[in-house]
Structure 1
Amino acid sequence: MDIHRKSDSEQAAVLGLVDGLRPAIERHDRAEVVGIIAKLLALRAPMGEQWLALAKLAGDRGEITSARAALELFVDFSGRSAMALYQQAAVLAQLGLWNDARAILSALPAGQPEPAALAHSSGTAALAVGDTAEARRMLEEATRLRPASGPTWHSLSTMIDYVQEPQEADRLLAAERQMAFASQTDFGIYLYALGKMHADRGEHERAFAAFSRGARLTRPAGGYDPDRDSRIARDAIDGYDPRRMAQIAAQQGEPTGRTIFVTGLPRSGTTLVEQILTAHSEVADGGEINRLGLLASDMGGNSFEALERHVAREGAPALARLWDHWLAERFGAQGRIVDKTIGTSRLLGIAASLLPQAPLVWLRRDPLDCAWSCFRTRFNGSYPWSHDLEDIAHHFALEDALLRQWQDLLGDRLLVMDYETLVSEPATAIARLLAHCDLAPESQAFAPHENRHVVATSSVMQVRQPISRSAIGSAQPYAQFLTPFSDAYYGKGAPSS
């Protein structure tokens, strides 16, 4: 860090702030971290390449404005090079700002900073914003430029029906020779694409074998800790009861109805519900924003005791204002917002208590179908339980228990929707959903496939299609391979549907 161009007092201020940053990070003191970054920005401190790391720190803590400003300083320091702009786009994409990321990528000189990487990133961004034609063109280009790229083959596979396009199946199979030189993780991700191809063609044994091998190769280094998962689930409900939650809610003096919380297991229909809701004129945007996780981190846990202690220190209205600040940072100040962060089941007590006007929606799906869909989906390491069928059973059983407990605690405030009912009787189910969220019926909400809302989850291609029952029973051809899940899940006393 070169600070020689600053005055003595400015140099001292910058050095003091930098010295205080690491201890604040180690203490998990979010407010102190973002405060230090804001002061460094105000001083336009000569942080050089460190502005990139500071942008990530700010963005991960909900401060999008600071993250953008830090990224601009990083790009300026780097002479607005193609690589710096590419890195800026990558951080914006991580923050969910896909349209902004795509605009930067589109403005880069052709093939810079590296042709295959640019084609892959441009294709991924186009896919997220719904430009499927451009996404496919760019991803195909990326596979030609770099045949040994598992992530590119995987993204491309989501857009292809390999029965209708056998030549694409041939291309995918031919790439396996190049993939032999890829990293273990890249090859594992490629196997998810290969499994998808076999599944499309009805080659069930080969499909399951490919997904299983891909799961093993991409399993996170730390694996899945069922005891930790169980402990977090226990803490999620610990101490919560209607009376105590109502006491927190009674302290709230701010409007709290802007957010609509949608939760449920991955692959249970939460993205479809988000598409339905964001199609409505009163709903501005949505996504997996993880701001409840920031609150839980500030609180030091997700139990009622942790919440009560934090409210006593900060005040319920101040926490609601912080929540609104985070929403405005990410989505702007207008319109309602859908928060479909996976794992909200573990934080529902915080949301229900602090934001008493916020609607709560929980999606559930046939367990075997949902388990198979999770097992065959590449989640980028987000859900370590998804790599093993018995681990999936353990996690599902925890979520079932949480749902039963939250239903008892929240009553009618929690709308529980079955995926099968939603896709079989969409008109009735969508009307019920809109009413629960205090939204008037609008025709576009009943045609969510026409919604151009950004989708960056594994359901991106499914929700671009008209609502269909085709995924019901999707696990049946694989039932013989899924016995480790069935034996573990039903052996835990979970319901059969």
Structure 2
Amino acid sequence: MSSPPGTGGATGSNLAASLALVDELQRALGRNDRARIVDAVRQLVSRGAPMGAQWQQIAYMAADHGELTLSRQAMALYVEASGGNPMARYQQAGLLAQGGAVQEAYALLQALPENVPDPAVNAYSRGAAAVFIGKLEEARELLERAIELRPQLGQAWLPLSTLVNFAGEPELTERIVAAERQMRQAPPAAQAPYYHALGKAYADLGEHARAFAAFAEGARLKKSERPYDRQGDRAAAAEAVRGYDADAVASIARQQSEPTDRTIFVSGLPRSGTTLVDQILTGHSEVSDGAEINRMPMLARDVGGASHSSLARHVASHGAPPAARLWRHWMDERFPAPGRVVDKSMETSRYLGLAAALLPEAPIVWLRRDPLDCAWSCFRTHFLAGVEWSYDLEDIAFRFELENQLLGQWQQVLGDRLLVVPYEALTEDPTSWTRRILGHCGLAEEPQVFEPHRNERIVTTSSVMQVRRPINRKAVGSAEPYREYLQPFLAAYRA
């Protein structure tokens, strides 16, 4: 970060103090010292330092450290420094959406001129936000406008494909197929989501060979951008369980004096039913919200690692309560409304030792799904980030094996603390399994949780459309029409 530019209204003393704080922030960043980074940012914000356009960088820095209030304040200063520039407000909406404030982001986008940043991207951004908040008719209108203005905007084809069944949309099918010629000239970042949308179109039409080919092309493009590090992932999985057993977890849990029952952890592979369980739980009157919040990696960074030895050293130096207070602070930042919350982050399996030991009152639920169905669902899903293993069938098999090993080890360590929920059983007998989930989480039965599709909360995962429908078994056996194309997974899985 460079030194802050001066502004006409900045006094000499304020500028000097700001320069000193920027220097302190740079040193804290070099040491990766979260507490000092946050403190320096807080002081810069409180004094309204003359940072100009650098407020945007500081806003994302604060968000990356879980400080969403500070992040919003810094971004507001960025907008102010820009003189209320519409492009700055568009970027502000992006930050709000990233922090979970999708409704606010949507409102801000609605207030912008339709040519910011340009008409096609504006329509796409508003349409995508409308999908998440459940305004589906409006979403479709906006997304169709985006692709009409720019057919090679693959990012718009993707959410539009989730809203429709192409089997009943011949005109839209013709448009998405015809767009492929133009898409070949688009950058890979636009091509990949387009090919996933095209795969969805062919799948709706029952054209399995063409569907698989389109999904495979989208996956190939994604993999070329973000290759999967198998050995690094194996090492992270080994680190996650190193040194943990029931006694090791209990010995640290006994040192915890803070309340730790606000969070409910829902773990499992992507596309295994975690969003459905999130939807069930957040329908309860005592549960205010839930999301993929990705705070456990931040806690591990603060502790010094995910292994038991790293945690034990940290607790010996600082005690267990400060970590729980930091976690509660992050939860309050992300979920300001009172009530319990669901953390369904995709990497939770790598941090369950930390979660179980430092937050001993937090229930843990793990979803399992038929491996072939889950593999196919992962392969055909265009994840935004963090799922690099999903773009190759053999990589998927490798990751699934690691998760199987982790589940077995965590079951030994955590015992009844960990409730394993089979997706197929949940969809076969949702009433019984919903009761088991509620009981495990210490929640009384309430009628609305048995109809999770009526829960109108904002959903921002790939399952946004599925959880708006009554629980059903349509996804059970969904991979069967593609079995011949999934042989690389079957050959590698438990080979």
Counterpart position of 1:160: 164
Give the 5 Å matches for 1:204-353: 204-219=208-223, 221-332=225-336, 334-353=338-357
Deviates more, 1:110-119 or 1:120-129: 110-119
| Matching residue of 1:494 | none
| Amino-acid identity (%) | 55
Whether 1:2 aligns to 2:5 is yes
TM-score, length of structure 1 as denominator length: 0.97
Is 1:30 paired with 2:28? Answer: no
Match of 1:481 in 2: 485
**Number of residues of Structure 1 aligned to a counterpart in Structure 2:** 491
The answer (yes or no) to whether the contact 1:218–1:381 under 8 Å persists in 2 is no
Please state whether the residue corresponding to 1:482 is helix, strand or coil.
helix
Counterpart in the other structure of 2:439 = 435
From 452, 458, 467, the counterpart of 2:456: 452
1:181 deviates by 2.1
Matches within 5 A, 1:26-105: 26-105=30-109
Structure 2: how far apart are the matches of 1:319 and 1:217? Answer: 40
Q: For the residues of structure 2 that align with 1:293 and 1:314, how far apart are their CA atoms?
A: 19
Q: Which residue is equivalent to 1:121?
A: 125
Instruction: Judge conservation of contact 1:106–1:122 (CA < 8 Å) in 2.
Output: yes
Structure 2 match to 1:495: none
For residue 188 of structure 1, give the secondary structure of its aligned residue in structure 2: helix
Asked if 1 retains the 8 angstrom alpha-carbon contact of 2:288 and 2:337, the reply is no
Deviation at 1:2, TM superposition (A): 2.8
- CA-CA distance at 1:25 after TM superposition: 2.2
Farther off after superposition, 214-223 or 327-336: 214-223
Counterparts of 1:77 and 1:313, CA distance in 2? 42
Superposition TM-score, scaled by structure 2 size: 0.97
CA contact (8 A) 1:284 1:335 kept: yes
Q: Per-residue displacement from partner, 1:31-63 (whole Å, max 9, x unpaired)?
A: 221111101001100111111111111011110
Tell me how far 1:220 sits from its aligned partner.
5.1
Q: Please state whether the residue corresponding to 1:261 is helix, strand or coil.
A: strand
Q: 1:419 aligns with which of 400, 420, 423?
A: 423
Q: Deviations over 1:368-394 (max 9, x none)?
A: 000000001001232111010000000
2:20 matched to 1:16?
yes
Q: Is 1:151 paired with 2:155?
A: yes
In structure 2, how many angstroms separate the alpha carbons of the residues matched to 1:250 and 1:142?
56
The separation in 2 between residues aligned to 1:26 and 1:244, in whole angstroms, is 33
Is residue 392 of structure 2 the alignment partner of residue 388 of structure 1? Answer: yes
Q: Deviations over 1:323-358 (max 9, x none)?
A: 111111111151000000001000000000000000
Residue 139 (structure 1) aligned with residue 131 (structure 2): no
State the 1:81 CA deviation. Answer: 1.6
Give CA-to-partner distance per residue, 1:64-117, whole Å, 9 cap, x none: 110110111011111112111101001111112111111111111333332111
CA–CA separation in structure 1 for the residues paired with 2:224 and 2:419: 34
Q: How far, CA to CA, are the matches of 1:26 and 1:213 in structure 2?
A: 40
Return the alpha-carbon distance in structure 2 between the equivalents of residues 353 and 105 of structure 1. 42
Pairing partner for 1:400 from 404, 410, 416 = 404
1:409 aligns with 2:413: yes
User: Contact 1:17/1:36 (CA < 8 Å) preserved in 2?
Assistant: yes
Q: Provide structure 2 residue ranges, at least 5 long, that are not aligned to the other structure.
A: none
CA distance in 1, matches of 2:189, 2:86: 27
- Aligned-residue CA RMSD (Å): 1.2
Give how far 1:239 is off.
0.4
Residue by residue over 1:139-164, the C-alpha shift from the partner in whole angstroms, topping out at 9 and shown as x without a partner, is 11111111111110011101110112
Contact 1:450 1:464 in 2 (8 A): yes
Task: Say if 1:214 and 1:222 are closer, same or farther in 2 by CA, change over 3 A.
Answer: closer
Contact 1:60 1:95 in 2 (8 A): no
CA displacement 1:473-493 (0-9 Å, x = unmatched): 0011111111111111121xx
**What is the CA deviation profile of residues 384-411 of structure 1, one whole-angstrom value per residue up to 9, with x for unaligned ones?**
1101000000000000000001011111
1:177 is matched with 181
